[in-house]
C-alpha cells in the first residue's frame, strides 16, 4: 500500500486541460477532481488515507518505481519497475477530452514475467461517499448521486470486489500490453463514448510534442523552460482560458500547520507574469485566451474587482472546511474555497492595467471594450489607492498601507499614461493620470522607504520587509541600478533569506504592525516562497549582478523533482517541497528568469 504522506516531490502530474491528477512513484493516483479542477475529488488519499480514495497500479508487492519520466516534451508519464521476475512499465495520461474525462493507464511488459495488482478505491465528495459498484458488460460502474465512473480493462484481467475496492490481478510478459480506461460522466446520462487507449496515446503524444515545438526559447535551460510551460498548459482550463494557481487544495505551507489554502482558482495577481511568460515563449494563442478570460472576469463595477475568480470567472468562492479529512501529513484543516476572495487588494488594478498594456504592445488583437474597462478602473483607483488593503500576500490580519500595493497603483497610472501617449486617439485624462503617477511615486519614496536601513519596507511605518519589493525595478518604478533598489535587494537577502532562498516576509513576531503579532494574523511559520527567489534572481540580473543571479537560478533548478515540477514553497531544513503542487507561480517564475538570463546573454 502507498505511503500517502510521502514527500510532494514523489508526485507527477497528468491532465487534460480541464482537470489534473497526481500519481506517486508507487503507481498510486492519489488526487483527482472530476470533471473540473475545482470539482470535489474522487481520489483524495493525498489529504487523508487510502480510504479517502486512490488507484494503484503496480507490480504485486512492489514499492516505488525504479525510474520514471515524461515521454519527451509531453504530459505522458512512464514509470518503470525492475523486479526479480522481470521489467514492466506503466504509461499514465489523460487524453484531451471530447466530452467525458478519461484516465488511461497502459501496462507494458518489457522483460520476463511480472505479476501486476491494481487497487481502485473510488470515494466521491473528497473521500466521503462510497459509491455503489456494479458490472455492466465489460465495465465496472461506480455510482453515487450525480457522479458515475466507468472502469474498462482487457478481458484477460481478473477483476473483483474486495473491501469496498475493485481489485485487478494479471500477469504481463515481454511484449504484452494491458490497458485500463477510467471515465467519469454525470450519472443520469447514458454510457459515455469509449475511446481506444492506444490511439489516444498516439494522438496525445503527437499533440504535446507539436505544442512544445512552438516554444521560441532556445537557451541552455530549454528542457526546464518547456517542462514549466507544459505545466502551465496543464493548469489551463481550456473552455475559458483561465489558469489555476495549482490543481490541489490544502497542501500545507508548514507540515502540521494551519496555513492550508485552496488554490484551484484563477488569481489576477498572476496575470501580467503569466501573459509575459506566454508571449515571450511564443504562445500567443494561450496568451490571448488568458487575456480574454481576464476581460470577462473583471467586467462590472471596478469597485467590486476581486483578487481571484473561478475557472469561468465565477465570483462566489465560499471557504469551508472538510473535517473528515485529516490533511496531508496531519496538516488540518482541509479547506475548500478561499475566503481571501473578499479581500481588498489594490495591487490587482496595477496588474490588470499592466496586462492590457503588455497585450496591446505585443500586438494581440485589441478588444474594443478593453479600454473602457481600463478607464473605469482608473476612475475608481484615483481615490482608492490611498486606502489600506490586505496586500499581495492575502494577509489575514489588519489592513495596512502595503508598499507593493502602492507601487502597483503607480503601475496602473503609468500604463494608462503610456497608453494615451502611444494612442492619442483613445479617450482619457492624461494630465490627471500623470499627477496621480507623480503623487503615488513621491508618497511611496517618502513613507515606504527606510533611510536608516536603505530599503523599502513592507508597509508604511513598518520595519518589516517584503519580497514583493524586489519587483520594483521589473515594473519600472525605479531603475535597477538605483541605490534604493540595490539597498532593497541586499536587505531582502539579509533579512528574508532561509538558507539562501527567500521568504515572502517574516512570520515569527511583531515588526512594526498594529496587531501585536504576525503581520498575517496566523500562527506558525512557512517555507521559502519559490517565486520570491526567482524574483531575487531577476532583480540581481537587472542590477548587473549576473553571476549571483546565475548561481541562484541553478540552485532553484535543483529543487525541481525528478520530473521537473515545483510546488509553492521549499523547506531547506527538511529538504522538502511545501504548499500546493505543482504551483503555476513557481513555474512562471522559472520561465521568466530563464528568459531574463537569455536576454542578458544576447545583450553581451
Regarding pTM above 0.85, the answer is yes
Q: Do 399 and 390 touch, CB atoms closer than 8 A?
A: yes
In sequence order, the 6+-apart residues with CB closer than 8 A to the CB of 4 are 28, 30, 45, 46, 48, 49, 50, 54
The answer to which of 392-401, 433-442, 550-559, 590-599 has the lowest mean pLDDT is 392-401
Instruction: Please check the confidence at residue 55 and state whether its pLDDT lies above 80.
Output: yes
Give me the pLDDT at residue 506, please.
Answer: 82
DSSP state letter for 450 = E
CA distance 140 to 135: 5
Neighbours of 445 (CB within 10 A): 13
Give me the pLDDT at residue 3, please.
Answer: 43
Q: Do 385 and 377 touch, CB atoms closer than 8 A?
A: no
Instruction: Please check the confidence at residue 54 and state whether its pLDDT lies above 70.
Output: yes
The alpha carbon torsion through 449, 455, 457, 460 (nearest 10 deg) reads -10
The distance in angstroms from the start CA to the end CA of the chain is 55
**Angle at CA 252, nearest 5°, toward 246 and 258?**
125
The answer to which of 192-201, 364-373, 401-410 has the lowest mean pLDDT is 364-373
> For 152-205, how does the pLDDT look when each residue is reduced to its tens digit (9 = 90+)?
998 889 988 888 899 999 999 999 999 999 999 999 998 888 999 999 999 999
Give me the pLDDT at residue 192, please.
Answer: 80
Q: What is the DSSP string of 77-125?
A: EEEEEE-SSEEEEEEEE-PPPSSS-EEEEEEEEEEEEEEEEEEEE--HH
The alpha carbon torsion through 578, 581, 582, 584 (nearest 10 deg) reads -90
Label residue 520 by pLDDT band (50, 70, 90): low
> For 531-542, how does the pLDDT look when each residue is reduced to its tens digit (9 = 90+)?
999 999 999 999
Distances from the Cα of 239 to the Cα of 34, 151, 235, 289, 538, angstroms: 15, 26, 12, 9, 33
Q: Do 569 and 532 touch, CB atoms closer than 8 A?
A: no
Give me the pLDDT at residue 510, please.
Answer: 37
Q: In percent, how much of the chain has pLDDT > 70?
A: 95
Residue 26 C-alpha cell reads as 508507487
The mean pLDDT value for 374-380 works out to 94
Q: What is the set of domains in the chain, with CATH numbers?
A: 8-204 (2.70.98.50), 212-603 (1.50.10.10)
The answer to which of 209-213, 256-260, 327-331 has the lowest mean pLDDT is 256-260
In sequence order, the 6+-apart residues with CB closer than 8 A to the CB of 432 are 382
How would you classify the pairing of strands 28-33 and 86-93? unpaired
Q: State phi, psi for 563 to the nearest 5 degrees.
A: -110, 20
Place of cell 482487457: 154
DSSP state letter for 368 = T
Give me the pLDDT at residue 512, please.
Answer: 40
Give me the pLDDT at residue 439, please.
Answer: 98
Give me the pLDDT at residue 604, please.
Answer: 59
Looking at the DSSP bridge assignments, the partners of residue 79 are 68, 90
> For 443-480, how does the pLDDT look when each residue is reduced to its tens digit (9 = 90+)?
999 999 999 999 999 999 999 999 999 999 999 999 99
Q: What is the DSSP string of 146-187?
A: TEEEEEEE-TTSEEEEETTEEEEEEEEETT-EEEEEEEEEET
Instruction: Please check the confidence at residue 396 and state whether its pLDDT lies above 60.
Output: yes
> For 571-591, how does the pLDDT look when each residue is reduced to its tens digit (9 = 90+)?
999 999 999 999 999 999 999
The mean pLDDT value for 258-278 works out to 90
Label residue 516 by pLDDT band (50, 70, 90): very low
What is the chain's mean pLDDT, rounded? 92
The alpha carbon torsion through 68, 71, 74, 79 (nearest 10 deg) reads -30
Label residue 6 by pLDDT band (50, 70, 90): confident
The answer to which of 45-54, 144-153, 202-211, 522-531 has the lowest mean pLDDT is 522-531
Write out 470-535 in H/E/C secondary structure.
HHHHHHCCCCCCCHHHHHHHHHHHHHCEECCEECCCCCCCCCCCCCCCCCCCCCCCCCEEHHHHHH
Give me the pLDDT at residue 409, please.
Answer: 98
Q: Do 275 and 591 touch, CB atoms closer than 8 A?
A: no
Q: In percent, how much of the chain has pLDDT > 90?
A: 79
Give me the pLDDT at residue 602, please.
Answer: 65
The mean pLDDT value for 29-42 works out to 97
Q: Do 200 and 104 touch, CB atoms closer than 8 A?
A: yes
The answer to which of 53-67, 109-123, 355-369, 420-434 has the lowest mean pLDDT is 355-369
Give me the pLDDT at residue 397, please.
Answer: 79
More confident position, 571 or 527: 571
Residue 139 C-alpha cell reads as 465495465
Amino acid at each position: 500500500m502507498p505511503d500517502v504522506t510521502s514527500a510532494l516531490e514523489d508526485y507527477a502530474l497528468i491532465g487534460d486541460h480541464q482537470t489534473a491528477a497526481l500519481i506517486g512513484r508507487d503507481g498510486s493516483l492519489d488526487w483527482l477532481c472530476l470533471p473540473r479542477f475545482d470539482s470535489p475529488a474522487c481520489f483524495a488519499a493525498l489529504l487523508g488515507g487510502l480510504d479517502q480514495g486512490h488507484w494503484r497500479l503496480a507490480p504485486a508487492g512492489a514499492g516505488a518505481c525504479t525510474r520514471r519520466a515524461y515521454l519527451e516534451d509531453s504530459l505522458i508519464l512512464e514509470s518503470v519497475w525492475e523486479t526479480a521476475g522481470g521489467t514492466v512499465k506503466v504509461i499514465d495520461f489523460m487524453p484531451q477530452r471530447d466530452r467525458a474525462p478519461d484516465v488511461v493507464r497502459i501496462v507494458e511488459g518489457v522483460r520476463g514475467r511480472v505479476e501486476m495488482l491494481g487497487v481502485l478505491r473510488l470515494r466521491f465528495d473528497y473521500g466521503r461517499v462510497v459509491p455503489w459498484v456494479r458490472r455492466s458488460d465489460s465495465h465496472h460502474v461506480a455510482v453515487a448521486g450525480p457522479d458515475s465512473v466507468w472502469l474498462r480493462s482487457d478481458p484477460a484481467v481478473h477483476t473483483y470486489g474486495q473491501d469496498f475496492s475493485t481489485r485487478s490481478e494479471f500477469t504481463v510478459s515481454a511484449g504484452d500490453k494491458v490497458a485500463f480506461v477510467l471515465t467519469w460522466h454525470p450519472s443520469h446520462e447514458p454510457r459515455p463514448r469509449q475511446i481506444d487507449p492506444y490511439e489516444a496515446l498516439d494522438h496525445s503524444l503527437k499533440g504535446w510534442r507539436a505544442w512544445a515545438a512552438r516554444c521560441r526559447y532556445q537557451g541552455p535551460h530549454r528542457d526546464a523552460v518547456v517542462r514549466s510551460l507544459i505545466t502551465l498548459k496543464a493548469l489551463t482550463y481550456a473552455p475559458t482560458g483561465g489558469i489555476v494557481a495549482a490543481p490541489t487544495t490544502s497542501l500545507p505551507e508548514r507540515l502540521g500547520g494551519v496555513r492550508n489554502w485552496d488554490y484551484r482558482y484563477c488569481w489576477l495577481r498572476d496575470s501580467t507574469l503569466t501573459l509575459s511568460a506566454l508571449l515571450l515563449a511564443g504562445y500567443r494563442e494561450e496568451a490571448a485566451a488568458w487575456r480574454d478570460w481576464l476581460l470577462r472576469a473583471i467586467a462590472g463595477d471596478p469597485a467590486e474587482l476581486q483578487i481571484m475568480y473561478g475557472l469561468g470567472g465565477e465570483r462566489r468562492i465560499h471557504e469551508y472546511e472538510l473535517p473528515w479529512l485529516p490533511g496531508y501529513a496531519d496538516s488540518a484543516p482541509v479547506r475548500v474555497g478561499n475566503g481571501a476572495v473578499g479581500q481588498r487588494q489594490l495591487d490587482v488594478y496595477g496588474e490588470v492595467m499592466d496586462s492590457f498594456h503588455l497585450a496591446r504592445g505585443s500586438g494581440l488583437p485589441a478588444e474594443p471594450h478593453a479600454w473602457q474597462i481600463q478607464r473605469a478602473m482608473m476612475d475608481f483607483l484615483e481615490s482608492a489607492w490611498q486606502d489600506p488593503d490586505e496586500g499581495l500576500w492575502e494577509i489575514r490580519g489588519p489592513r495596512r498601507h502595503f508598499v507593493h500595493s502602492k507601487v502597483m497603483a503607480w503601475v496602473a497610472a503609468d500604463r494608462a499614461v503610456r497608453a494615451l501617449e502611444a494612442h492619442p486617439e483613445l479617450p482619457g485624462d492624461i494630465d490627471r493620470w500623470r499627477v496621480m503617477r507623480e503623487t503615488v511615486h513621491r508618497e511611496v519614496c517618502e513613507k515606504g522607504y527606510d533611510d536608516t536601513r536603505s530599503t523599502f519596507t513592507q508597509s508604511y511605518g513598518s520595519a518589516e520587509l517584503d519580497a514583493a519589493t524586489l519587483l520594483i525595478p521589473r515594473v519600472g518604478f525605479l531603475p535597477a541600478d538605483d541605490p534604493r533598489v540595490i539597498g532593497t535587494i541586499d536587505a531582502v537577502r539579509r533579512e528574508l533569506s532561509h538558507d539562501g532562498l527567500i521568504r515572502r516576509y517574516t512570520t515569527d513576531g511583531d515588526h512594526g504592525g498594529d496587531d501585536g503579532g504576525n503581520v498575517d494574523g496566523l500562527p506558525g511559520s512557512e517555507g521559502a516562497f519559490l517565486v520570491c527567489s526567482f524574483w531575487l534572481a531577476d532583480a540581481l540580473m537587472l542590477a548587473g549582478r549576473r553571476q549571483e543571479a546565475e548561481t541562484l537560478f541553478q540552485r532553484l533548478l535543483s529543487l525541481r523533482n525528478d520530473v521537473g515540477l515545483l510546488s509553492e514553497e521549499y523547506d531547506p531544513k527538511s529538504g522538502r517541497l511545501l504548499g500546493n503542487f505543482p504551483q503555476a507561480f513557481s513555474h512562471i517564475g522559472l520561465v521568466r528568469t530563464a528568459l531574463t538570463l537569455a536576454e542578458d546573454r544576447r545583450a553581451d
